[in-house]
Amino acid sequence: MSVENDKTLVVYDKMAQVHLDNLAAHDANDPERARKKRKKLTADIREAFSSLPAGAKILEIGSCNGVNARALEELGYDVTASDVAPAFIDACKKQGLRTIKFNVLKDEFPADLSGILCWRVFVHFTREDIAEALARIYAALPAGGRFMFNVIDRATHDCDSEMKDSKGEYFLGAERYYAYYTEKEMLDLINKTDFRIVKEWHKTGGYNEWLCYVLER
């Protein structure tokens, strides 16, 4: 686990509630836009895990407010939400979600998983962190297991990584580590495993362009 990621986790441990409040305020500023974004992401999640049967066990890594984990539950899956910051864990539990404290770079995965979702989490991971996480996720899934994740597209930034605070509604008052990736870099990292790329696409969201992937073991 990198020093950069560790510093970022310390920030979220202290500022998670501020982040939750910012997310709620952001959606409240334009409810219709928020609804459309949620509908599109839910459709992407449905497609990503469509090969799995109803009731399949799916872990979300970095659940934050639990919205994605709730969408997975509503699609008929047996979902475990997870995060590392107490306020995020509490937010998920308040939605009635089974929730655990979980660090993908350190902790043992729940048993019998068929799918894993990790959305807007690798933004804070170094290349070495992602390589380690991909290897661990691959080992945690069975043949045919699915993994959905995204990273920030390097093409929209002037550096590979930086310590910064977010702008506007996502301002926390503390710097976090952000990493940006090219398509080639992601392909190289994925190819270090035996994952098969099922789908890859570009997505616009917030201040960034995103590279999005669905992998199959």
**30 within 8 A of 36, measured Cβ to Cβ:** no
pLDDT at residue 53, as a whole number: 97
In 3D space, the residue among 83, 89, 88, 127 whose CA is nearest the CA of residue 104 turns out to be: 83
- Amino acid 28: pLDDT: 84
Q: Report, in angstroms and rounded to the nearest whole number, the Rg of the chain calculated over CA atoms.
A: 16
pLDDT score of 64: 96
Cα 48 to Cα 199: distance, rounded to the nearest angstrom = 8
What sign does the CA torsion over 212, 125, 29, 74 have? positive
Q: HSE, CB side, 13 Å, CA atoms: give it for residue 37.
A: 13
State whether residue 117 is helix, strand or coil.
Answer: strand
Calculate the alpha carbon distances from 166 to 28, 80, 188 in Å: 19, 28, 28
User: What is the dihedral sign for C-alpha 93, 95, 98, 102?
Assistant: negative
pLDDT score for 75? 97
pTM of the model: 0.96
Q: SS3 for 169? A: helix
| Domains, the chain, with CATH or none | 3-216 (3.40.50.150)
Give the integer Cα–Cα distance in Å for 109 and 131.
17
pLDDT score recorded for residue 148: 98
Compute mean pLDDT per 10 residues along the chain, 217 residues long, and list them: 90 91 84 88 96 98 97 97 97 96 97 98 97 98 98 95 86 93 98 98 84 98
Q: pLDDT at position 206, please?
A: 67
